[in-house]
Structure 1
Amino acid sequence: MSGLRLDLGPAREPLGLVRGLQWFFSIFAFGTCGGYSGTVSFWVSCWGQPNTTVSAPVAYPFRLNYATFTPSLANMCNKTWEADVHLVGDFSSAAQFFVTVAVLAFLYSMAALAIYLGYFHLYRGAGGKLPLADFLATVSFSFLWLVSSSAWAKALADVKASTAAPLPSCDRPAVACFPAGVTPMGSLNVSVIFGFLNLVLWLGGSWFVYKETNFHRPAPPSGPAPPAAM
Protein backbone atom coordinates (compact mmCIF):
# COMPACT_ATOMS: atom_id res chain seq x y z
CA MET A 1 0.00 0.00 0.00
CA SER A 2 1.44 3.37 -1.00
CA GLY A 3 -0.77 5.79 1.02
CA LEU A 4 0.02 7.86 4.06
CA ARG A 5 0.86 5.84 7.18
CA LEU A 6 1.54 8.13 10.10
CA ASP A 7 4.20 6.54 12.31
CA LEU A 8 6.07 8.44 15.02
CA GLY A 9 8.53 5.60 15.45
CA PRO A 10 11.25 7.13 13.19
CA ALA A 11 11.18 10.30 15.32
CA ARG A 12 12.46 8.24 18.25
CA GLU A 13 15.24 6.70 16.18
CA PRO A 14 18.56 8.48 15.52
CA LEU A 15 17.61 8.94 11.85
CA GLY A 16 14.55 11.04 12.65
CA LEU A 17 15.94 12.64 15.80
CA VAL A 18 18.98 14.05 14.02
CA ARG A 19 16.78 15.31 11.17
CA GLY A 20 14.70 17.15 13.73
CA LEU A 21 17.81 18.75 15.24
CA GLN A 22 18.98 19.78 11.77
CA TRP A 23 15.63 21.42 11.09
CA PHE A 24 15.68 23.22 14.45
CA PHE A 25 19.23 24.57 14.33
CA SER A 26 19.03 25.65 10.69
CA ILE A 27 16.33 28.12 11.79
CA PHE A 28 18.75 29.73 14.24
CA ALA A 29 21.51 29.81 11.63
CA PHE A 30 19.62 31.92 9.08
CA GLY A 31 17.70 33.83 11.75
CA THR A 32 20.75 35.12 13.62
CA CYS A 33 22.52 36.14 10.41
CA GLY A 34 19.68 37.39 8.24
CA GLY A 35 17.93 39.19 11.10
CA TYR A 36 20.85 41.38 12.17
CA SER A 37 20.53 45.16 11.95
CA GLY A 38 22.72 47.76 13.61
CA THR A 39 24.73 50.94 13.19
CA VAL A 40 28.27 52.28 13.50
CA SER A 41 28.55 55.81 14.88
CA PHE A 42 31.17 58.55 15.29
CA TRP A 43 31.31 61.90 17.04
CA VAL A 44 32.59 64.54 14.65
CA SER A 45 33.92 67.79 16.08
CA CYS A 46 34.67 70.70 13.76
CA TRP A 47 36.86 73.60 14.87
CA GLY A 48 34.96 75.63 17.45
CA GLN A 49 31.67 73.72 16.98
CA PRO A 50 29.86 71.17 19.20
CA ASN A 51 30.09 67.47 18.50
CA THR A 52 27.78 65.95 15.90
CA THR A 53 26.90 62.26 15.85
CA VAL A 54 26.96 60.59 12.44
CA SER A 55 25.83 57.00 11.89
CA ALA A 56 25.86 54.40 9.10
CA PRO A 57 23.62 51.31 8.97
CA VAL A 58 25.11 47.82 9.24
CA ALA A 59 22.64 45.09 8.30
CA TYR A 60 22.17 41.92 6.26
CA PRO A 61 23.29 41.36 3.50
CA PHE A 62 26.24 43.58 4.57
CA ARG A 63 26.83 45.66 1.46
CA LEU A 64 28.76 48.13 3.58
CA ASN A 65 30.03 50.08 0.57
CA TYR A 66 26.44 51.29 0.13
CA ALA A 67 26.10 52.37 3.79
CA THR A 68 26.36 56.18 4.00
CA PHE A 69 26.92 58.20 7.15
CA THR A 70 24.04 60.49 8.08
CA PRO A 71 23.78 63.39 8.48
CA SER A 72 25.92 63.87 5.39
CA LEU A 73 29.57 64.55 6.12
CA ALA A 74 29.77 66.46 2.83
CA ASN A 75 27.94 69.34 4.52
CA MET A 76 30.11 69.47 7.61
CA CYS A 77 33.38 71.05 8.72
CA ASN A 78 33.79 73.52 5.86
CA LYS A 79 33.56 70.82 3.17
CA THR A 80 36.35 68.70 4.65
CA TRP A 81 34.71 65.75 2.91
CA GLU A 82 33.93 66.44 -0.73
CA ALA A 83 31.27 63.72 -0.94
CA ASP A 84 29.29 61.35 1.24
CA VAL A 85 31.42 58.88 3.20
CA HIS A 86 30.63 55.16 2.95
CA LEU A 87 31.77 52.17 4.91
CA VAL A 88 34.21 49.83 3.15
CA GLY A 89 33.54 46.38 1.75
CA ASP A 90 30.81 44.24 0.20
CA PHE A 91 30.31 40.99 2.13
CA SER A 92 26.91 40.11 0.72
CA SER A 93 28.05 37.05 -1.25
CA ALA A 94 29.25 35.16 1.83
CA ALA A 95 26.28 36.26 3.96
CA GLN A 96 23.68 35.37 1.33
CA PHE A 97 25.36 32.05 0.57
CA PHE A 98 25.27 31.15 4.27
CA VAL A 99 21.60 32.12 4.65
CA THR A 100 20.64 30.32 1.42
CA VAL A 101 22.28 27.08 2.60
CA ALA A 102 20.52 27.41 5.97
CA VAL A 103 17.10 27.96 4.35
CA LEU A 104 17.56 25.06 1.93
CA ALA A 105 18.72 22.82 4.77
CA PHE A 106 15.63 23.83 6.75
CA LEU A 107 13.33 22.96 3.85
CA TYR A 108 15.08 19.68 3.06
CA SER A 109 15.15 18.45 6.66
CA MET A 110 11.45 19.34 7.03
CA ALA A 111 10.58 17.40 3.86
CA ALA A 112 12.72 14.44 4.97
CA LEU A 113 10.97 14.39 8.35
CA ALA A 114 7.59 14.36 6.63
CA ILE A 115 8.66 11.33 4.56
CA TYR A 116 10.04 9.52 7.62
CA LEU A 117 6.85 10.05 9.63
CA GLY A 118 4.31 9.49 6.88
CA TYR A 119 5.90 7.36 4.21
CA PHE A 120 8.64 5.39 5.95
CA HIS A 121 7.27 2.15 4.49
CA LEU A 122 7.91 3.55 1.01
CA TYR A 123 11.29 4.95 2.06
CA ARG A 124 12.53 1.50 3.07
CA GLY A 125 10.65 -0.31 0.34
CA ALA A 126 11.92 1.61 -2.68
CA GLY A 127 14.73 -0.78 -3.44
CA GLY A 128 17.28 1.45 -1.73
CA LYS A 129 16.80 4.37 -4.13
CA LEU A 130 15.29 6.83 -1.65
CA PRO A 131 17.85 6.14 1.11
CA LEU A 132 20.66 6.51 -1.42
CA ALA A 133 19.29 9.85 -2.66
CA ASP A 134 18.82 10.93 0.95
CA PHE A 135 22.42 9.97 1.74
CA LEU A 136 23.83 11.88 -1.23
CA ALA A 137 21.80 14.96 -0.32
CA THR A 138 22.95 14.78 3.31
CA VAL A 139 26.60 14.54 2.31
CA SER A 140 26.13 17.46 -0.11
CA PHE A 141 24.62 19.62 2.63
CA SER A 142 27.52 18.72 4.92
CA PHE A 143 29.92 20.08 2.32
CA LEU A 144 27.79 23.19 1.80
CA TRP A 145 27.69 23.87 5.54
CA LEU A 146 31.49 23.59 5.68
CA VAL A 147 32.04 26.01 2.80
CA SER A 148 29.35 28.52 3.73
CA SER A 149 30.22 28.61 7.44
CA SER A 150 33.91 29.09 6.71
CA ALA A 151 33.20 31.83 4.18
CA TRP A 152 30.80 33.61 6.53
CA ALA A 153 33.25 33.40 9.46
CA LYS A 154 35.90 35.11 7.32
CA ALA A 155 33.42 37.71 6.07
CA LEU A 156 32.26 38.46 9.62
CA ALA A 157 35.85 39.15 10.66
CA ASP A 158 36.10 41.59 7.74
CA VAL A 159 32.79 43.24 8.71
CA LYS A 160 34.14 43.84 12.20
CA ALA A 161 37.36 45.28 10.80
CA SER A 162 35.43 47.59 8.47
CA THR A 163 33.15 48.92 11.21
CA ALA A 164 36.11 49.46 13.52
CA ALA A 165 38.06 51.53 10.94
CA PRO A 166 38.40 55.30 11.65
CA LEU A 167 36.73 57.95 9.54
CA PRO A 168 38.93 59.32 6.75
CA SER A 169 40.14 62.95 6.58
CA CYS A 170 39.93 63.55 10.31
CA ASP A 171 42.89 65.89 10.68
CA ARG A 172 43.22 67.58 14.05
CA PRO A 173 42.82 70.25 15.23
CA ALA A 174 40.47 71.35 12.41
CA VAL A 175 38.46 68.10 12.52
CA ALA A 176 38.35 65.48 15.26
CA CYS A 177 36.50 62.17 15.03
CA PHE A 178 35.82 59.82 17.93
CA PRO A 179 34.20 56.34 17.78
CA ALA A 180 30.75 56.46 19.36
CA GLY A 181 30.06 52.74 19.21
CA VAL A 182 28.95 49.83 17.06
CA THR A 183 25.82 47.77 17.65
CA PRO A 184 26.97 44.51 19.31
CA MET A 185 27.46 41.66 16.86
CA GLY A 186 26.86 38.84 19.30
CA SER A 187 24.08 37.35 17.17
CA LEU A 188 26.44 37.23 14.19
CA ASN A 189 29.01 35.37 16.28
CA VAL A 190 26.25 32.96 17.25
CA SER A 191 25.33 32.46 13.59
CA VAL A 192 28.86 31.22 12.88
CA ILE A 193 28.63 28.83 15.84
CA PHE A 194 25.30 27.51 14.55
CA GLY A 195 26.83 27.11 11.10
CA PHE A 196 29.54 24.78 12.33
CA LEU A 197 27.10 23.04 14.69
CA ASN A 198 24.94 22.28 11.66
CA LEU A 199 28.03 20.94 9.90
CA VAL A 200 28.53 18.45 12.76
CA LEU A 201 24.84 17.49 12.73
CA TRP A 202 24.75 16.86 8.99
CA LEU A 203 28.01 14.91 9.07
CA GLY A 204 26.67 12.78 11.91
CA GLY A 205 23.32 12.41 10.20
CA SER A 206 24.96 11.10 7.06
CA TRP A 207 26.02 7.99 8.99
CA PHE A 208 22.47 7.19 10.08
CA VAL A 209 21.19 7.71 6.53
CA TYR A 210 24.01 5.55 5.20
CA LYS A 211 22.80 2.71 7.43
CA GLU A 212 19.49 2.77 5.52
CA THR A 213 21.17 2.25 2.15
CA ASN A 214 21.93 -1.07 0.49
CA PHE A 215 25.64 -0.44 1.03
CA HIS A 216 25.24 -1.05 4.76
CA ARG A 217 22.61 -3.77 4.80
CA PRO A 218 23.96 -7.30 4.90
CA ALA A 219 23.55 -9.35 1.76
CA PRO A 220 20.60 -11.79 1.87
CA PRO A 221 21.63 -15.35 2.79
CA SER A 222 22.24 -17.61 -0.15
CA GLY A 223 19.95 -20.58 -0.64
CA PRO A 224 21.07 -24.20 -0.26
CA ALA A 225 23.33 -25.51 -2.96
CA PRO A 226 21.57 -27.69 -5.57
CA PRO A 227 22.29 -31.44 -5.29
CA ALA A 228 25.07 -32.72 -7.46
CA ALA A 229 23.99 -34.49 -10.63
CA MET A 230 24.49 -38.24 -10.64
Structure 2
Amino acid sequence: MCMVIFAPIFAICAFATCGGYYGHLQVKVDCADRRKSNLSINIDFGYPFRLKDVHFKAPLCEGRRDEILFLDGDFSAASQFFLTVGVFAFLYSLLATVVYVFYQNKYLKNNRGPLVDFIVTLIFSLMWLVSSCCWAKSLSNIKTATNPTQVLLLISACRAQENKCTATQEPSWSRLNASAVFGFVNVILWVGNIWFVFKETGWYKTGQRYPTRSASGKRSSEMRQRLYSESSFDLPEESSGSQLSRQNSFNLSKGDFSQHVYRQSSFNQTQVSLSLPQAYLGKPVVSKGPMIFVNEM
Protein backbone atom coordinates (compact mmCIF):
# COMPACT_ATOMS: atom_id res chain seq x y z
CA MET A 1 0.00 0.00 0.00
CA CYS A 2 2.91 2.34 0.71
CA MET A 3 4.22 1.62 -2.78
CA VAL A 4 0.85 2.32 -4.37
CA ILE A 5 0.36 5.67 -2.64
CA PHE A 6 3.79 7.28 -2.41
CA ALA A 7 5.81 5.86 -5.32
CA PRO A 8 4.06 7.83 -8.09
CA ILE A 9 4.09 11.02 -6.01
CA PHE A 10 7.81 10.99 -5.22
CA ALA A 11 8.68 9.91 -8.77
CA ILE A 12 6.85 12.95 -10.14
CA CYS A 13 8.60 15.21 -7.63
CA ALA A 14 12.00 13.80 -8.59
CA PHE A 15 11.87 14.24 -12.36
CA ALA A 16 9.77 17.42 -12.29
CA THR A 17 12.22 19.35 -10.10
CA CYS A 18 15.14 18.20 -12.24
CA GLY A 19 13.70 18.45 -15.73
CA GLY A 20 12.03 21.82 -15.32
CA TYR A 21 14.99 23.66 -13.84
CA TYR A 22 16.06 26.99 -15.26
CA GLY A 23 19.09 28.87 -13.86
CA HIS A 24 20.11 32.46 -14.38
CA LEU A 25 23.45 34.07 -13.58
CA GLN A 26 24.27 37.73 -14.06
CA VAL A 27 27.69 39.41 -13.81
CA LYS A 28 29.03 42.84 -14.67
CA VAL A 29 32.35 44.06 -15.98
CA ASP A 30 33.36 47.57 -14.92
CA CYS A 31 36.31 48.59 -17.08
CA ALA A 32 38.68 51.40 -16.26
CA ASP A 33 37.31 53.12 -19.32
CA ARG A 34 33.65 53.55 -18.40
CA ARG A 35 32.55 53.68 -22.01
CA LYS A 36 33.56 50.04 -22.60
CA SER A 37 31.93 48.59 -19.50
CA ASN A 38 29.08 46.08 -19.57
CA LEU A 39 27.04 46.00 -16.42
CA SER A 40 24.57 43.25 -17.39
CA ILE A 41 26.02 40.02 -18.71
CA ASN A 42 23.27 37.37 -18.49
CA ILE A 43 24.11 33.68 -18.47
CA ASP A 44 21.18 31.24 -18.74
CA PHE A 45 21.41 27.47 -18.37
CA GLY A 46 19.13 24.58 -17.50
CA TYR A 47 18.26 20.97 -18.21
CA PRO A 48 20.00 18.89 -19.64
CA PHE A 49 22.94 20.96 -18.34
CA ARG A 50 25.22 20.94 -21.37
CA LEU A 51 27.19 23.86 -20.02
CA LYS A 52 29.75 23.66 -22.79
CA ASP A 53 27.04 24.87 -25.17
CA VAL A 54 26.09 27.84 -22.99
CA HIS A 55 27.80 30.98 -24.26
CA PHE A 56 27.75 34.67 -23.40
CA LYS A 57 29.45 37.86 -24.53
CA ALA A 58 31.89 39.83 -22.38
CA PRO A 59 33.59 43.14 -23.27
CA LEU A 60 37.30 43.53 -23.91
CA CYS A 61 38.37 46.61 -22.06
CA GLU A 62 41.32 47.11 -24.43
CA GLY A 63 39.05 47.56 -27.44
CA ARG A 64 35.46 48.08 -28.44
CA ARG A 65 34.77 44.51 -29.44
CA ASP A 66 33.35 41.68 -27.31
CA GLU A 67 34.52 38.15 -26.77
CA ILE A 68 32.33 35.02 -26.77
CA LEU A 69 32.88 32.67 -23.87
CA PHE A 70 31.51 29.20 -22.97
CA LEU A 71 30.96 27.53 -19.65
CA ASP A 72 32.79 24.34 -18.75
CA GLY A 73 31.33 20.86 -18.43
CA ASP A 74 28.67 18.56 -19.84
CA PHE A 75 26.40 16.94 -17.24
CA SER A 76 23.60 15.84 -19.53
CA ALA A 77 24.21 12.09 -19.08
CA ALA A 78 23.59 12.05 -15.34
CA SER A 79 20.59 14.38 -15.49
CA GLN A 80 18.93 12.52 -18.36
CA PHE A 81 19.54 9.17 -16.69
CA PHE A 82 17.99 10.45 -13.48
CA LEU A 83 15.00 11.85 -15.34
CA THR A 84 14.48 8.64 -17.35
CA VAL A 85 14.48 6.49 -14.22
CA GLY A 86 11.95 8.82 -12.62
CA VAL A 87 9.58 8.71 -15.61
CA PHE A 88 9.69 4.92 -15.97
CA ALA A 89 9.30 4.43 -12.23
CA PHE A 90 6.25 6.67 -12.31
CA LEU A 91 4.69 4.71 -15.18
CA TYR A 92 5.37 1.36 -13.57
CA SER A 93 4.02 2.46 -10.22
CA LEU A 94 0.80 3.59 -11.92
CA LEU A 95 0.54 0.24 -13.68
CA ALA A 96 1.15 -1.60 -10.42
CA THR A 97 -1.54 0.49 -8.74
CA VAL A 98 -4.11 -0.47 -11.37
CA VAL A 99 -3.17 -4.15 -11.08
CA TYR A 100 -3.30 -4.14 -7.28
CA VAL A 101 -6.74 -2.53 -7.21
CA PHE A 102 -8.60 -4.07 -10.16
CA TYR A 103 -6.73 -7.27 -11.05
CA GLN A 104 -5.77 -8.74 -7.71
CA ASN A 105 -6.89 -12.28 -8.61
CA LYS A 106 -4.96 -12.35 -11.88
CA TYR A 107 -1.96 -10.85 -10.10
CA LEU A 108 -1.80 -13.74 -7.63
CA LYS A 109 -2.61 -16.44 -10.20
CA ASN A 110 0.21 -18.98 -10.74
CA ASN A 111 2.49 -16.72 -8.69
CA ARG A 112 3.73 -14.97 -11.87
CA GLY A 113 2.61 -11.51 -10.92
CA PRO A 114 4.45 -11.37 -7.57
CA LEU A 115 7.64 -12.79 -9.10
CA VAL A 116 7.66 -10.22 -11.92
CA ASP A 117 6.86 -7.45 -9.47
CA PHE A 118 9.69 -8.58 -7.18
CA ILE A 119 12.27 -8.60 -10.00
CA VAL A 120 11.16 -5.19 -11.34
CA THR A 121 11.25 -3.73 -7.84
CA LEU A 122 14.83 -4.92 -7.41
CA ILE A 123 15.80 -3.35 -10.74
CA PHE A 124 14.20 0.00 -9.96
CA SER A 125 15.76 0.04 -6.50
CA LEU A 126 19.19 -0.39 -8.03
CA MET A 127 18.50 2.15 -10.79
CA TRP A 128 17.27 4.75 -8.31
CA LEU A 129 20.38 4.28 -6.18
CA VAL A 130 22.79 4.61 -9.11
CA SER A 131 20.98 7.52 -10.76
CA SER A 132 20.60 9.44 -7.50
CA CYS A 133 24.29 9.10 -6.66
CA CYS A 134 25.33 10.16 -10.16
CA TRP A 135 22.96 13.09 -10.16
CA ALA A 136 24.12 14.29 -6.73
CA LYS A 137 27.73 14.23 -7.94
CA SER A 138 26.83 16.04 -11.17
CA LEU A 139 24.86 18.64 -9.24
CA SER A 140 27.93 19.44 -7.19
CA ASN A 141 29.95 19.87 -10.39
CA ILE A 142 27.27 22.10 -11.91
CA LYS A 143 27.39 24.37 -8.88
CA THR A 144 31.16 24.61 -9.23
CA ALA A 145 31.03 25.34 -12.97
CA THR A 146 28.42 28.08 -12.54
CA ASN A 147 30.01 29.64 -9.50
CA PRO A 148 30.35 33.40 -10.13
CA THR A 149 34.00 33.35 -9.11
CA GLN A 150 34.69 30.60 -11.64
CA VAL A 151 32.77 32.41 -14.39
CA LEU A 152 34.56 35.69 -13.82
CA LEU A 153 37.89 33.93 -14.27
CA LEU A 154 36.84 33.08 -17.83
CA ILE A 155 36.52 36.76 -18.75
CA SER A 156 39.75 38.29 -19.98
CA ALA A 157 38.91 41.79 -18.75
CA CYS A 158 38.44 40.51 -15.20
CA ARG A 159 42.03 39.30 -15.05
CA ALA A 160 43.35 42.85 -15.16
CA GLN A 161 43.58 44.55 -11.80
CA GLU A 162 42.39 47.95 -13.05
CA ASN A 163 39.01 46.46 -14.06
CA LYS A 164 36.31 45.51 -11.62
CA CYS A 165 34.07 42.46 -12.09
CA THR A 166 31.26 41.38 -9.77
CA ALA A 167 28.26 39.03 -9.77
CA THR A 168 24.91 40.78 -9.48
CA GLN A 169 22.68 37.67 -9.47
CA GLU A 170 23.38 34.06 -8.62
CA PRO A 171 21.32 31.00 -9.60
CA SER A 172 18.93 29.39 -7.15
CA TRP A 173 19.68 25.77 -6.29
CA SER A 174 16.65 24.92 -4.18
CA ARG A 175 14.86 22.94 -6.92
CA LEU A 176 17.91 20.91 -7.87
CA ASN A 177 18.67 20.20 -4.22
CA ALA A 178 15.09 19.02 -3.81
CA SER A 179 15.43 16.74 -6.84
CA ALA A 180 18.48 15.07 -5.30
CA VAL A 181 16.63 14.62 -2.01
CA PHE A 182 13.60 13.14 -3.80
CA GLY A 183 15.93 10.76 -5.58
CA PHE A 184 17.23 9.28 -2.34
CA VAL A 185 13.70 9.21 -0.91
CA ASN A 186 12.71 7.05 -3.87
CA VAL A 187 15.67 4.78 -3.13
CA ILE A 188 14.44 4.25 0.43
CA LEU A 189 10.86 3.75 -0.75
CA TRP A 190 11.68 1.15 -3.40
CA VAL A 191 14.20 -0.72 -1.26
CA GLY A 192 11.71 -0.90 1.59
CA ASN A 193 9.05 -2.19 -0.79
CA ILE A 194 11.21 -5.22 -1.66
CA TRP A 195 10.17 -6.97 1.55
CA PHE A 196 6.44 -6.43 0.98
CA VAL A 197 6.67 -7.72 -2.59
CA PHE A 198 8.75 -10.70 -1.47
CA LYS A 199 6.00 -11.71 0.96
CA GLU A 200 3.64 -12.17 -1.99
CA THR A 201 5.95 -14.57 -3.82
CA GLY A 202 5.94 -18.34 -3.52
CA TRP A 203 9.43 -18.32 -1.99
CA TYR A 204 8.21 -16.68 1.19
CA LYS A 205 5.10 -18.86 1.37
CA THR A 206 7.17 -22.02 0.94
CA GLY A 207 9.43 -20.97 3.80
CA GLN A 208 6.39 -20.35 6.01
CA ARG A 209 4.86 -23.71 5.12
CA TYR A 210 7.95 -25.67 6.07
CA PRO A 211 9.64 -23.66 8.79
CA THR A 212 13.04 -24.74 10.00
CA ARG A 213 13.41 -25.58 13.68
CA SER A 214 15.73 -23.31 15.54
CA ALA A 215 18.39 -24.45 17.96
CA SER A 216 16.30 -23.37 20.95
CA GLY A 217 13.31 -25.32 19.64
CA LYS A 218 15.40 -28.46 19.19
CA ARG A 219 16.84 -28.07 22.66
CA SER A 220 13.38 -27.71 24.23
CA SER A 221 12.09 -30.83 22.42
CA GLU A 222 15.08 -32.83 23.61
CA MET A 223 14.41 -31.76 27.19
CA ARG A 224 10.77 -32.85 26.88
CA GLN A 225 11.78 -36.27 25.59
CA ARG A 226 14.31 -36.69 28.37
CA LEU A 227 11.79 -35.75 31.07
CA TYR A 228 9.22 -38.11 29.54
CA SER A 229 11.66 -41.02 29.46
CA GLU A 230 12.71 -40.42 33.07
CA SER A 231 9.12 -40.21 34.26
CA SER A 232 8.24 -43.50 32.51
CA PHE A 233 10.75 -45.39 34.72
CA ASP A 234 9.37 -44.04 37.99
CA LEU A 235 7.17 -46.52 39.90
CA PRO A 236 4.04 -45.39 41.73
CA GLU A 237 3.90 -45.43 45.48
CA GLU A 238 1.31 -48.21 45.58
CA SER A 239 3.52 -50.65 43.68
CA SER A 240 6.39 -50.11 46.16
CA GLY A 241 4.42 -51.86 48.92
CA SER A 242 3.66 -54.86 46.75
CA GLN A 243 7.30 -55.04 45.72
CA LEU A 244 8.35 -55.20 49.39
CA SER A 245 5.83 -57.96 50.09
CA ARG A 246 7.14 -59.96 47.18
CA GLN A 247 10.68 -59.52 48.45
CA ASN A 248 9.69 -60.77 51.91
CA SER A 249 7.91 -63.78 50.50
CA PHE A 250 10.96 -64.55 48.43
CA ASN A 251 13.16 -64.43 51.56
CA LEU A 252 10.75 -66.72 53.45
CA SER A 253 10.74 -69.29 50.70
CA LYS A 254 14.50 -69.19 50.41
CA GLY A 255 14.87 -72.02 52.93
CA ASP A 256 12.82 -74.36 50.76
CA PHE A 257 14.80 -73.47 47.68
CA SER A 258 17.47 -76.18 48.27
CA GLN A 259 14.84 -78.91 48.58
CA HIS A 260 13.17 -77.69 45.43
CA VAL A 261 16.48 -77.76 43.57
CA TYR A 262 17.19 -81.29 44.81
CA ARG A 263 13.78 -82.54 43.70
CA GLN A 264 14.16 -80.79 40.38
CA SER A 265 17.58 -82.40 39.75
CA SER A 266 16.29 -85.88 40.62
CA PHE A 267 13.36 -85.38 38.31
CA ASN A 268 15.70 -84.33 35.54
CA GLN A 269 17.82 -87.45 36.03
CA THR A 270 14.79 -89.74 35.84
CA GLN A 271 13.65 -87.86 32.76
CA VAL A 272 17.02 -88.42 31.11
CA SER A 273 16.98 -92.10 31.98
CA LEU A 274 13.53 -92.48 30.52
CA SER A 275 14.72 -90.95 27.29
CA LEU A 276 17.39 -93.72 26.84
CA PRO A 277 16.50 -96.51 24.42
CA GLN A 278 15.27 -99.70 26.13
CA ALA A 279 17.26 -102.84 25.35
CA TYR A 280 16.43 -106.32 26.74
CA LEU A 281 19.94 -107.82 26.63
CA GLY A 282 20.14 -109.30 30.11
CA LYS A 283 18.34 -109.84 33.33
CA PRO A 284 16.34 -107.04 34.60
CA VAL A 285 17.38 -105.26 37.72
CA VAL A 286 14.52 -104.41 39.97
CA SER A 287 14.63 -101.00 41.47
CA LYS A 288 12.20 -98.59 42.94
CA GLY A 289 12.64 -96.26 40.09
CA PRO A 290 12.14 -96.93 36.46
CA MET A 291 13.30 -100.26 35.00
CA ILE A 292 16.84 -100.27 33.68
CA PHE A 293 18.42 -103.34 31.97
CA VAL A 294 22.17 -103.86 32.34
CA ASN A 295 24.26 -106.07 30.05
CA GLU A 296 26.03 -109.02 31.67
CA MET A 297 29.65 -109.34 30.73
| Counterpart pick for 2:14 among 22, 26, 29 | 29
Paired residues of 2:13 and 2:179 also in contact (CA < 8 A): yes
Residue 133 (structure 2) pairs with residue 150 (structure 1): yes
Aligned to 1:64: 51
Aligned to 1:159: 142
Paired residues of 1:66 and 1:86 also in contact (CA < 8 A): yes
1:130–1:196 Cα change, 3 Å: same
Aligned to 1:20: 5
Residue 178 (structure 2) pairs with residue 190 (structure 1): yes
Structure 1, unmatched stretches of 5+, are 1-15, 223-230
Cα-to-partner distance string for 1:200-224 (whole Å, 9 max, x where unaligned): 00001111111110001137979xx
Identity score, percent = 39
Aligned to 2:203: 215
TM-score by length of 1: 0.82
Q: How many matched pairs?
A: 203
Aligned-pair Cα RMSD in Å: 2.0
Name the aligned partner's letter for residue 19 of structure 2.
Answer: G
Moved more, 194-203 or 78-87: 78-87
Structure 2, unmatched stretches of 5+, are 211-297
Paired residues of 2:60 and 2:67 also in contact (CA < 8 A): no
Paired residues of 2:71 and 2:151 also in contact (CA < 8 A): no
1:220–1:208 Cα change, 3 Å: closer
Cα-to-partner distance string for 1:129-187 (whole Å, 9 max, x where unaligned): 11101100000000000000000000000000001113222223453321222221111
Paired residues of 2:33 and 2:61 also in contact (CA < 8 A): no
Pairwise CA distance, 1:30 = 0.3
Aligned to 1:90: 74
Aligned to 2:100: 116
1:221–1:89 Cα change, 3 Å: closer
Aligned to 1:226: none
Name the aligned partner's letter for residue 198 of structure 1.
Answer: N
Higher helix share: 2
Aligned to 1:5: none
Higher relative contact order (CA 8 A, sep 6+): 1
Structure 2: how far apart are the matches of 1:136 and 1:221? 23
Pairwise CA distance, 1:195 = 0.2
Residue 36 (structure 2) pairs with residue 53 (structure 1): no
Structure 1: how far apart are the matches of 2:65 and 2:23? 24
- Higher Cα radius of gyration: 2
Pairwise CA distance, 1:62 = 0.5
Structure 2: how far apart are the matches of 1:30 and 1:220? 40
Structure 1: how far apart are the matches of 2:92 and 2:160? 57
